Structure 1
Amino acid sequence: MQAILKPSRRLLKNYLIPIKHNVQLHKLEIPALSLAPGYQPQEVEINNLPDTPLEAKLVTQRKIINRGPFRMLLPPPNVTGDLHLGHALMAIVQDVLCRYHHNLGYDVEWIPGTDHAGIATQVVVEKQLFKKLGITRHDLGREKFLEHTWQWKNEKGLGILDDLKKLGCMLTWNKEYFTMNEQQIEAVQVAFIKLFEDGLITRKNSLVNWSCALESAVSDMEVETIELKGPTDICVPGYQHKVPFGNIYEFSYRLCNQKDEIIVSTTRPETMLGDVAVAVHPDDPRYIKYRNIDNVSLWHPFRQEPIPLIFDINVDPDFGSGAVKITPAHDQNDFQIAESHLLKSIPVFTSKGTVVEGFEVFKGIPRFKAREKILNILKEMQLLRTVKPHAMNLPICSRSKDIIEYMLCPQWYLHCQPMANEAMSEIRSGRVQIVPSNFELDWYHWLEDCHDWCISRQLWWGHQIPAYEAVDSVGKSCWVAAKNEVEARAKAQNILNTSDFSIRRDEDVLDTWFSSALLPFSIHNWPAVEYKQHYPLDLMETGHDILFFWVARMAMLGLKLTGEMPFKKILLHGIVCDAHGRKMSKSLGNIVTPQQVIQGASLQSMTNKLQKAEAGGTLTTEEYQKSEKGLQKMFPNGIKECGTDALRFTLCSHNIKSHFINFDIDECYTNKLFLNKIWQATRFTLISAQNLKFSLDDISTMHAIRMNKWDKWILSRLAYTLEKCDEGFKTYNLHYATAALKTFFYNNLCDVFLETTKEDIKNIEMSGYMHLATLTACLVWGLRAMQPFTPFIAKELLLRLPENISMNTKEFQNTAVEAEISKILEICQHVRQLKSQNQISKKHAPKLYLYAQNDGAKNMLNKHLSQIKALTMVDTVDLDVVTDALEANTFNFYSTGGHLCVFGLTVNETYQAQTDKLEFGMEINKRKLEKLQAELQRYRLRVNNEGFMKSASKKVQEKSLEKIKQLEVEIQNILNLRR
């Protein structure tokens, strides 16, 4: 198993040499027993924080196998706060994969960084300024505001990186980046200029998602939708009182030169100032009479001018009255209809959300107050008809919580479709894989009709767009892309053919996703050719929710700017939810940070953190109140300390490729107890090693000791576990590996092997030496397999165990021994269940009677009597062959395969109700018979089915026939006992 490292040489150096079917031991160097009585995560983690990038060699000194590079990029967390559990999942999964590849002998490069997060950061800093100083960014000015933001970023950024280190992430810290450092600025400018000069970036007027609170366009990802079932009052930034939504309004447009009218339906009466038409469906019978009349027009009551009635198949005749107002400056569908009918657009609102000049009665009024005034005037004009409840979807800016306004304004756009076609080709050809593969459909869905990307934002924090507008003395103008004004002037002069012009740089900044899309090559000093030494990435691991917003854009720009896909494989993980499957949100109060899980947190401390966020301006008072209420409901007793390793192990215990990952803090605490189990097993091993006190004189004696079947069984289980771990890593099913490790340590090693061997070890029996050697090998190799998931405890324990234990898993795989021990364990399990059902404990001094089907079975069972006694916790075990006279003395029986084991239990005379137990045991026998007969019937129906015999493989058919024979033997055994 090359994927698992040998631990460092220390303490028990040269204690055990390679374990084969015979064991050899060198002179024991007795260690100073420094392992604490119990597992204390914080102490272990403080002692084992990761060193510089993979320089600690993951607690090992070994011969490095050079398999070449393995490159990954940590998706940069925003510098807007602490890491959340979604970040933790992402970082831990990537760290586990990096450690695994490092253990295989790859030269791992995993680069960390943070994202400037334009909108998110500016919002947080603005809130903080207003909360603490009562000022806005406009009061400070752009330069001073940016200084304040850089200071805030430097403080927050350090906390994020510290959190990553505390998670145990072995990142390549000497290559850490920030998306606005000098190297990134250079890459962003070069990329923009090249795309501009290739004709892919253009400036045009178009509708965008607009936040009036931010005074900026926002991306689709930053738009949330609230589903309203009817009238609902919503808090809107800048308004003292809540604003009502969830109504549909009907008002009249009167036909010019006629007494007739058309009633229009709208959920947004405030935009009617910009109406340029009324539209109906051409086949709507209510309005078909107007199709034969030329130039039907309606009178606009506020602009005092006619607007046309138009017919368009895109109108939904079932919506309201079937007639809709067309406001192209503030509605996406209206904009498209207006373009097709060659209608102009009339803006209604400014960037701040107030009514524009030109509407004197409403000028400067905020849009939703203007709505009230418009409705009142329409009512006075006797044009308002009805106001009715209406279900609707309301778009909200996730950053500012403002109601999204669709605004028509000049923006920079990147034409994506040509690049999108290439990105689709990479997936279709199989050159790049998406895991899980079902997300390929999403890939094609997004890219087959890839709209132009609005890359400009009206912010101050971010990469200022390297574009300049030059205007000559006669008003002729042009836009050029350049790194600085000198370069821009030279380019503009060539276009305008004059040196007499003014020039200004665009004040907008680029969408954060633009700079992030360049990261696979910009972090390696692109456009300098040295980037090719580290490009492309071997794996891009991230959340499926940003497959388009980030991954696809990396693919498009990587292909365009480097000619090569930026990664060889894409691995997508799910969204972390709470234990009930709910997304973590402030309103539910179910958000927890990794450090709260790791260190534990009282309800009061979590409430204090909310209070601090509210005082700092990052939480509104309403958000604080909702969060506090949710915390009290979710965590009335706070959160128990779990430790980093338990958090890592728990997150990886889920299928990371699932759409949602439900994180349960109770499960995390259970995994802390699981790690304590491993800790105690290691401590027992170290103490036992001290007690045995080997010397070189013992070696000749030890040569004669061979492993018994229980040693061979546990090593076979270890070999199986290591193979499952490798399988889990190779298929990105990390939960396969964690499940196998948990089964091995809990069920196999601690609950079985330790229980069956500890007496021999404690009593310094000769076989105890062999058991101790086997136990040591299992701990060493098991901890090596655990190390990618639980690096802190693995390092702490491996430093105290011998390093020179090698293992060939195939050599120790032993199906025959596993099958035999499995039968013994099944017998023990049923005995324990019977004891539990009948409340028989050790104090009752139970005696176990075992009856084998024949002498061969008796001989097999006889070899395991001491282990059966230990595992069933009885005082004595008697073994005999089954006879016809057995039934009267039988308490219960169990048969496995064709191998019958009848067992009886008796207790000392002080324990009563023996008759009841006998009857209970006979009832169990009856239920067992019924179950076996039903199973036999199912298998017989299967093999008699013609379709099964045609479609099933020969191996499957043989297994089914073998199962039928086995069931027939078991049923006959039971029937024989009942005669």
Structure 2
Amino acid sequence: MILRQKISLIKLKQSIRLCCQKSQNSSKLLNDQLRIAAYQPSKIENVDISQASSIHSGNNRFSMIFPPPNITGNLHLGHALTATIQDVIARWKRKQGSEIQWIFGTDHAGIATQVVVEKILHKKYGKTRHEIGREDFLNETWNWKLEKGCSIKDDLKKLGTTFNWNKEYFTLDPNLSNAVNEAFIRLFEKNLIYRDNSLINWSCALESAISDIEVENLEVTGTTQIAIPNYDKNVTVGVLTDFAYKIVDSDEEIVVSTTRPETMLGDTAVAVHPEDSRYSHLINKKLYHPYRNEEIPLIFDESVDPNFGTGAVKITPSHDKNDFEIGKRHKLPNISVITENGSIIDNFSQFKGLPRFEAREIILNDLANLQLLRGSKSHNMVLPICSRSKDIVEFMIKPQWYVKCNEMSKKAVTAVETGEIKIIPSNFEKEWYRWLTNCRDWCISRQLWWGHQIPAYKFTNPENNNEIWIAAHSQDEAEMKFKKTNEFTSYTVTRDQDVLDTWFSSGLLPFTVFDWPNSSNEDLKKYFPLNLMETGHDILFFWVARMVMLSIELTGQVPFKEILLHGIMCDSFGRKMSKSLGNVILPEQVIKGATLDDLRKETEKSVEKGILSKSELEKSIQGQKKMFVNGIQECGVDALRFTLCSQNTKQHFINFDVNECVTNKLFFNKIWQATKYAINYAEIKNIKVKGIKDVDLGKLSTMDLWILSRLGNTIKAVKHANEEYNFHLSTSALKNFFYNNFCDVYLETTKNDLKEHDRGFSSAQILNLCLSIGLDYMEIFTPYLVKELKNYLPENVLFDAEKYVNDELENQINELLDICASIREAKSHLKLTKKHKSSIIIHVDNENHEKFLNNNLNHMLHLTFSENLKIITDRSIFDSEQFDMTLTANHMCSFGIKILESRDKSNASDEAINTKKLKKLEDELQNMLNVVSKDGYKEKANEKVQQKHRDKIEKLRIEIDNIKQIRK
């Protein structure tokens, strides 16, 4: 048993029995022995706690799915946050008797996986995937998935997560693939999926379309050199180039400004603002294109910014989003310039085959020779970067598959408006409506091999090349469907080679994990719709909204009842975690600890994988040296979980500070030591703690009743916070109870009771009960710690702590504790320790208060480390005393300290302390007076709030008067 690390349980019990037979000093020896063993997470977190208890009552069910991580990835803090939040919810619902269906799975991650495997195969065979061939490449990818695939499952088990592991899925499993095909076919046959030529995000390095979420916006400050794939040297960006178009049949010219001069090959117009007087005389004029030997129009469009550059802009509909829209409005032709691999197309013989950024330099030189170049300057800009390949994104017009989103998005909006789906926190409802109002159609095809191949077949008439597309599970099924169309009898048929966007297949998961479209599946009936979808707010549209749209359309039901969103993980300074900044923290590094050398080696792996450039490596290492001067201390799983839940996860950004994990590890050690103390206490008193029924209620002290009340209020706070998913409030309540109430106060007061049999009996009961019940509520956050400590604490304690809630008693004890804290602070200022003799007199303003304090005098003596403490109500006696220091503790209490020995009293001045406190109280009073004197205060604040403010003002005035009396 870990708790007795240095001493076996048998030997410990023997030593306890021996100690009980010896003098009172034996308890000190016993405690000294137990202090050898401190809380060490690595000693107790090497067990498997990932198997959840299946105990549940009634028909209550609660279902969730985990956002499927990529098979290429390792567990990062974002995964750890999501998994911890969901596990806390699952554990909490189990405690309430619900049957939990919490499902884990992994995503095939089309682009990410293909990139990894392509790199491996190129290194192994020196061949591209095209040289290897589709079938062999897919076989290699499956082999890689089986051998090297996702380690996240093991990482999540170590995190203590309690998934229903026998329901684990992979998004390319046969049953899921069949469901994805069925979804595509149904949407296609409802005319909600169509094929069209439109502008898309294109990665030349991947030779595939990519989604918006895979595009990162890189802010470039002026002329900058950046590295991109397939180029031996850096590419220059952040330059604004001016060149001229000659006006046909005129000596005039129009100068345009661009950051992409190579795309001028595909310009089909120049645009100016209709109210720009500089160009009003050029209506209906044409411009001469120097490389296509043709004329292009000058057009007038209100979207043009007349203050940018010369006020005239080149229009390239095939390679720019804004230009594409302008082109549609003015019915301009689309002329492509760049091929799928990023080179200039063959139509431009002078530049054909050149990589786009090499062609840029040659075009600029040629424009200069043609006397059309008008100069360049440094320019701040935002550059779209492919997050997967780090390539500069091209915008291209390609034939792709699209989902019509307009009508489906309206249904998703209605689901939230009517409350059928609840978004938490509610401020994200505006984001929901913003994304889904006038929602653009969704490009779902990707030019990859790894993924769900689109179940669409093209039938082509060889006589006139007319074609028709049919969606089907197989070619045979497609041909049967095609023959019913009576389009043409002679045909060739080919299947689309593209695969579906990963977001499409993952968007179906809330029902496909339950074997949809098999409507007879019992799990689908029991667990769908899900109770909750918990995920990061950054994929609210890319995943969550699409799940809602697809579910309503395909099942007629919303996919879940609640959406719980958490923020983006940032470092302790509020910066997004980035490998280039050196501020990325991995869960494993927090759990096991990491030296600076470990952090550096992890960063070097990112360079090997192509995630970081060599130039970014040094910046990252320097960032690590600043962030983690001494590396990262080992904190353990529970400290990581507790720290993650201690953040207000509903905020937009979550600032993670690894030092908080260290602090929480120390907090757990406090509980660890308190548990040992409680066990020893019970052993010394020879008490078997079973339940509250064994306690003689008539013998409970004020502090016993207080700690039970605090326990009851803590449980109430935890329950309420958990139901609202405010786990930072739960952890705060538990930490306050164990740290400030139980360990720092109650446990300390029980040390006096060791000498008294009856009192000791009650104290032992309360110590063990508080730990047993309090840890039961803490278990959802710290499962490893609680699992270990439960071995030594009473089990199945039936005790309704909330019945012992006594707010009046808590207020009285709080005042007592405030007085004790003020006395300790004053003694610290006087440098008085336990060995120094002093006398303390406390003045209180009423007899009831005096009686209460005197009844708890022993506790006050212990909590103030004092031997001579007197409580009086007579102010004249108090004022007549000659104290070395006189202060106030609150509005009802003043106290004075006399030093009862010969020593230097030069530092015994209370003037500075009282002056500072007086200023603080007067400022606080003025603030309160400002609040209650504001216009409309009485109308806006209810009577309860107003009374609270009146009481606060009265207390401030009393204490201010008391300090002024002291200073006279």
What is the TM-score normalised by the length of structure 1?
A: 0.91
Q: Hey, what's the Cα distance between the residues in 2 that align with 1:241 and 1:449?
A: 43
Contact 1:54/1:171 (CA < 8 Å) preserved in 2? no
1:88 to 80, 85, 98: 80
1:127 to 99, 119, 130: 119
Assess, with a 3 A threshold, how the Cα gap between structure 1 residues 533 and 895 changes in structure 2: closer, same or farther: same
Q: Hey, what's the Cα distance between the residues in 2 that align with 1:132 and 1:476?
A: 44
Q: Hey, what's the Cα distance between the residues in 2 that align with 1:855 and 1:339?
A: 87
Secondary structure of 1:844's aligned partner: coil
Q: How do residues 334-483 of structure 1 correspond to structure 2 at under 5 angstroms?
A: 334-474=323-463, 475-483=465-473
Does residue 840 of structure 1 match 2:832? yes
User: By how many angstroms is 1:181 displaced?
Assistant: 0.8
Assess, with a 3 A threshold, how the Cα gap between structure 1 residues 747 and 345 changes in structure 2: closer, same or farther: same
**Structure 2 regions of 5+ residues with no counterpart?**
1-8, 13-32
User: By how many angstroms is 1:141 displaced?
Assistant: 1.9
Q: Hey, what's the Cα distance between the residues in 1 that align with 2:335 and 2:150?
A: 48
Does residue 654 of structure 1 match 2:647? yes
Q: Hey, what's the Cα distance between the residues in 1 that align with 2:251 and 2:721?
A: 76
Does residue 599 of structure 1 match 2:563? no
Q: Hey, what's the Cα distance between the residues in 1 that align with 2:891 and 2:245?
A: 89
Q: How do residues 616-695 of structure 1 correspond to structure 2 at under 5 angstroms?
A: 619-694=612-687
Secondary structure of 1:199's aligned partner: coil
User: By how many angstroms is 1:283 displaced?
Assistant: 2.1
Assess, with a 3 A threshold, how the Cα gap between structure 1 residues 536 and 857 changes in structure 2: closer, same or farther: closer
Any idea what the Cα deviations from partners look like across 1:554-600, whole Å, max 9, x if unmatched? 00000000001101011100011111111111100111211110111
Does residue 736 of structure 1 match 2:729? yes
The amino acid across from 1:657 in the alignment is: K
Q: Hey, what's the Cα distance between the residues in 1 that align with 2:182 and 2:71?
A: 25
Contact 1:124/1:617 (CA < 8 Å) preserved in 2? no
The amino acid across from 1:466 in the alignment is: P
Secondary structure of 1:81's aligned partner: coil
Does residue 183 of structure 1 match 2:183? no
User: By how many angstroms is 1:941 displaced?
Assistant: 6.2
**Greater Cα shift, 839-848 or 95-104:** 839-848
User: By how many angstroms is 1:633 displaced?
Assistant: 3.0
Does residue 871 of structure 1 match 2:871? no
Does residue 954 of structure 1 match 2:946? no
**Greater Cα shift, 416-425 or 340-349:** 340-349
User: By how many angstroms is 1:947 displaced?
Assistant: 3.4
Q: Hey, what's the Cα distance between the residues in 1 that align with 2:460 and 2:256?
A: 45
Q: Hey, what's the Cα distance between the residues in 2 that align with 1:825 and 1:969?
A: 20
**Which residue pairs with 1:40 in the alignment?**
40
**Greater Cα shift, 446-455 or 807-816:** 807-816
**Which residue pairs with 1:238 in the alignment?**
230
User: By how many angstroms is 1:869 displaced?
Assistant: 1.6
**Which residue pairs with 1:20 in the alignment?**
none
Assess, with a 3 A threshold, how the Cα gap between structure 1 residues 906 and 134 changes in structure 2: closer, same or farther: farther
**Greater Cα shift, 304-313 or 899-908:** 899-908
Q: Hey, what's the Cα distance between the residues in 1 that align with 2:509 and 2:842?
A: 68
Secondary structure of 1:202's aligned partner: strand
The amino acid across from 2:511 in the alignment is: F
Q: Hey, what's the Cα distance between the residues in 2 that align with 1:944 and 1:252?
A: 68
The amino acid across from 2:178 in the alignment is: E
- Alignment identity in percent? 49
The amino acid across from 2:400 in the alignment is: Q
Contact 2:203/2:392 (CA < 8 Å) preserved in 1? yes
Does residue 924 of structure 1 match 2:913? yes
Q: Hey, what's the Cα distance between the residues in 1 that align with 2:693 and 2:126?
A: 84
Q: Once superposed, what is the RMSD of the aligned Cα atoms?
A: 2.5
Q: Hey, what's the Cα distance between the residues in 2 that align with 1:560 and 1:201?
A: 12
Assess, with a 3 A threshold, how the Cα gap between structure 1 residues 835 and 196 changes in structure 2: closer, same or farther: same
The amino acid across from 1:265 in the alignment is: S
**Which residue pairs with 1:525 in the alignment?**
515
Any idea what the Cα deviations from partners look like across 1:775-814, whole Å, max 9, x if unmatched? 1111011101101111111111112211142222332011
**Which residue pairs with 1:159 in the alignment?**
151
Contact 2:228/2:391 (CA < 8 Å) preserved in 1? yes
Q: Hey, what's the Cα distance between the residues in 2 that align with 1:528 and 1:702?
A: 58
User: By how many angstroms is 1:307 displaced?
Assistant: 1.8
Does residue 108 of structure 1 match 2:73? no
Any idea what the Cα deviations from partners look like across 1:238-276, whole Å, max 9, x if unmatched? 111111111111112112232222222221110111112
User: By how many angstroms is 1:965 displaced?
Assistant: 4.2
**Structure 1 regions of 5+ residues with no counterpart?**
1-9, 13-32, 58-63
Assess, with a 3 A threshold, how the Cα gap between structure 1 residues 753 and 324 changes in structure 2: closer, same or farther: same
Assess, with a 3 A threshold, how the Cα gap between structure 1 residues 849 and 538 changes in structure 2: closer, same or farther: same
User: By how many angstroms is 1:923 displaced?
Assistant: 4.4
User: By how many angstroms is 1:507 displaced?
Assistant: 0.6
Any idea what the Cα deviations from partners look like across 1:890-928, whole Å, max 9, x if unmatched? 23445566633423242532x322x541xx224434554
**Which residue pairs with 2:26 in the alignment?**
none
**Which residue pairs with 2:568 in the alignment?**
575
Contact 1:131/1:615 (CA < 8 Å) preserved in 2? no
**Which residue pairs with 2:475 in the alignment?**
485
User: By how many angstroms is 1:968 displaced?
Assistant: 4.7
Q: Hey, what's the Cα distance between the residues in 1 that align with 2:451 and 2:72?
A: 14
**Which residue pairs with 1:148 in the alignment?**
140
Any idea what the Cα deviations from partners look like across 1:846-868, whole Å, max 9, x if unmatched? 44333444554433222122211
Q: Hey, what's the Cα distance between the residues in 1 that align with 2:693 and 2:658?
A: 52
Assess, with a 3 A threshold, how the Cα gap between structure 1 residues 411 and 906 changes in structure 2: closer, same or farther: same
Secondary structure of 1:363's aligned partner: coil
Contact 1:705/1:770 (CA < 8 Å) preserved in 2? no
Any idea what the Cα deviations from partners look like across 1:655-677, whole Å, max 9, x if unmatched? 01000000001111100000111
**Which residue pairs with 2:759 in the alignment?**
767
1:820 to 795, 812, 815: 812
Q: Hey, what's the Cα distance between the residues in 2 that align with 1:229 and 1:704?
A: 73
Contact 2:682/2:688 (CA < 8 Å) preserved in 1? no
Q: How many residues are matched? A: 932
Contact 2:202/2:396 (CA < 8 Å) preserved in 1? yes
Q: Hey, what's the Cα distance between the residues in 1 that align with 2:867 and 2:788?
A: 38
Q: Hey, what's the Cα distance between the residues in 2 that align with 1:702 and 1:52?
A: 36
**Which residue pairs with 1:50 in the alignment?**
49
**Greater Cα shift, 864-873 or 413-422:** 864-873
Contact 1:228/1:394 (CA < 8 Å) preserved in 2? yes
The amino acid across from 2:89 in the alignment is: L
Q: Hey, what's the Cα distance between the residues in 1 that align with 2:911 and 2:618?
A: 61
The amino acid across from 1:37 in the alignment is: A
Q: How do residues 939-978 of structure 1 correspond to structure 2 at under 5 angstroms?
A: 947-974=936-963
Contact 2:510/2:559 (CA < 8 Å) preserved in 1? yes
Secondary structure of 1:568's aligned partner: strand
Any idea what the Cα deviations from partners look like across 1:576-626, whole Å, max 9, x if unmatched? 111111111110011121111011111222223333444455555445444
**Which residue pairs with 1:304 in the alignment?**
293
The amino acid across from 1:957 in the alignment is: Q
User: By how many angstroms is 1:445 displaced?
Assistant: 0.6
Contact 2:205/2:229 (CA < 8 Å) preserved in 1? yes
Secondary structure of 1:843's aligned partner: coil
2:275 to 274, 278, 283: 283
User: By how many angstroms is 1:936 displaced?
Assistant: 5.0
Contact 2:422/2:562 (CA < 8 Å) preserved in 1? yes
Assess, with a 3 A threshold, how the Cα gap between structure 1 residues 801 and 927 changes in structure 2: closer, same or farther: same
Secondary structure of 2:399's aligned partner: strand
**Greater Cα shift, 466-475 or 788-797:** 466-475
Contact 2:716/2:802 (CA < 8 Å) preserved in 1? no
Any idea what the Cα deviations from partners look like across 1:394-446, whole Å, max 9, x if unmatched? 11111111011111110001110100000000111122111111100110111
Does residue 333 of structure 1 match 2:326? no
Any idea what the Cα deviations from partners look like across 1:302-322, whole Å, max 9, x if unmatched? 111222222222222222122
The amino acid across from 1:128 in the alignment is: I
Does residue 717 of structure 1 match 2:707? no
